[in-house]
Structure 1
Amino acid sequence: MKIHLACGLLAVLATPAAAQSDRIAPSGPRVEARVGWDRTVLSTYASDDTVTYKDHAGRSGVTYGAEVGYDVPLGPFAIVGAYAGIDGSSTKSCLTDERLGGVSRDCVKAGRNLTAGARVGYLFGPTGLLYGKVGYSNGRVEERYTDSQFPEDNYRDGTNRDGFHLGGGVEIGRAKGVYGKVEYVYTNYNGYEFVDRTTTAKLDLDRHQVVAGMGYRF
């Protein structure tokens, strides 16, 4: 379904561009809105004096955000550019343990994500651009632990994790500076560990995203 939607979007965007005869190199400042599929793979370990939780699974959600950038032509067939962005996500993973005397619940949520990087692209057709991107990411991870039997162990915490991302996509230009794009991005974050008296929680986080964007080039 995701592939069909992405192909459909590119087909619609490419229709008016096919009628143009001259190659147009995208250049200058741009701004775009983005939305898509977010797949976060969480490796979680949590323990206290009585129980231990382990989980390694992917969770899917919706990612949404914005990006700004600046592109410079490299001859008639290529461009190089820089960009920065911010996005949020609905992705969350929870572990629940029911035991004699109470219930504990440990939830980890993907928070805001900041990106900055560079991209290199190759032009095809009148307004098509095939590009690759790589850069720095800073993602926020939020965790909340509750225990009905030992409420003194309850906590809520968050941390910002550095990492890197890489990906690629296809961008199609339309008239009057408007463009559309579809891209895939992989992100890897540094591991996270939280220790609070008798409770220990560890988290490793990877991310896969397929997003569609609509933007305007000034």
Structure 2
Amino acid sequence: MRKIIITTAGAALALGIAAPAFAQDVPVEQAPFTGARAEAILGYDRVADGKDNSNGKDGLLYGGAIGYDAQVGGVVLGVEGEITGSTIKTRNSNLLTAGDNIRVKAGRDLYAGARLGFVLSPDTLLYAKAGYTNARFNTDYSIGTARIEQGDNLGGFRVGAGIERKLSGNTYVKGEYRYSHYGKLDGYDIDLDRHQVLAGVGVRF
């Protein structure tokens, strides 16, 4: 374990030293990671109780994001906003009483945050991100002819990391992992976590 920690720390230090050196080959006026951007994203989505991840549900994540980045030497600072949807849903019967049905579906997810990147080469960016996320979960409960529909908005934080690769022209692709935590859902003994792995394609203006 100690060897792994030392190796990881050494790699991180080497990355921090090497990134500015790589960027010295790119004139500031030709900084490839500066400007406004828009992208479409698609990936894997999982929502689970942080206390018992085995009870989680999987689905497809889809949506889009906009942002702005400024490259200063080998460092990129940016802000971004995102809206996504998910196919995650679950259905249970006889949960509270015999004959009842409950359906819970993940709704829209809004995110706003910042990112910090290191230029590994003129066309490759490694970055970390953090910000605020607000997710909606829609509940439909019925028993007999009675029916109750409710939507809950949960706020939380998100952290993540990814790699972006510049293609021809102003287009780019990226791969990203992020973790979100929403805390406890009112009325339920669960503590929601979210794990997402995605790919994106975008255009920088």
Shorter-chain TM-score range: 0.7 to 0.9
Partner residue of 1:212 out of 189, 199, 202: 199
CA distance in 2, matches of 1:189, 1:43: 10
| Counterpart for residue 85 of structure 1 | 82
Quote the offset at 1:203 in angstroms: 4.5
Kindly indicate whether the alpha-carbon contact (under 8 Å) linking 1:25 and 1:123 is maintained by their aligned counterparts in 2: no
CA distance in 2, matches of 1:102, 1:136: 39
Tell me whether 1:32 sits opposite 2:39 in the alignment.
yes
Aligned residues: 177
Kindly indicate whether the alpha-carbon contact (under 8 Å) linking 2:183 and 2:193 is maintained by their aligned counterparts in 1: no
> Please, which runs of 5 or more residues in structure 2 have no aligned partner?
1-24
Partner residue of 1:118 out of 114, 128, 135: 114
SS in 2 for 1:190: strand
Partner residue of 2:100 out of 99, 104, 114: 104
| Counterpart for residue 130 of structure 1 | 126
SS in 1 for 2:99: strand
Kindly indicate whether the alpha-carbon contact (under 8 Å) linking 1:40 and 1:208 is maintained by their aligned counterparts in 2: yes
Quote the offset at 1:183 in angstroms: 0.1
Quote the offset at 1:43 in angstroms: 7.2
Kindly indicate whether the alpha-carbon contact (under 8 Å) linking 1:30 and 1:215 is maintained by their aligned counterparts in 2: yes
> Please, which runs of 5 or more residues in structure 1 have no aligned partner?
1-21, 45-54, 195-200
The one-character-per-residue Cα deviations of 1:143-187 (angstroms, maximum 9, x if unpaired) are 111223xx44x3110021111100000100012100000000111
| Counterpart for residue 180 of structure 1 | 173
Quote the offset at 1:56 in angstroms: 6.5
| Counterpart for residue 17 of structure 2 | none
Quote the offset at 1:25 in angstroms: 3.6
The one-character-per-residue Cα deviations of 1:77-114 (angstroms, maximum 9, x if unpaired) are 11010000100000012222289x95222221111000
Task: Please provide the CA RMSD for this pair.
Answer: 2.4
CA distance in 1, matches of 2:151, 2:184: 13
Amino acid at match of 2:44: W
Greater RCO (CA < 8 Å, at least 6 residues apart): 1
CA distance in 2, matches of 1:163, 1:82: 18
CA distance in 1, matches of 2:173, 2:78: 17
1:31-70 alignment to 2 at 5 Å?
Answer: 31-42=38-49, 57-70=55-68
The one-character-per-residue Cα deviations of 1:48-99 (angstroms, maximum 9, x if unpaired) are xxxxxxx971110001000000001122x11010000100000012222289
| Counterpart for residue 3 of structure 1 | none
| Counterpart for residue 165 of structure 1 | 158
The percentage of aligned residue pairs carrying the same residue is 38
Normalising to structure 1: TM-score of the pair? Answer: 0.74
| Counterpart for residue 6 of structure 1 | none
Partner residue of 1:71 out of 69, 72, 82: 69
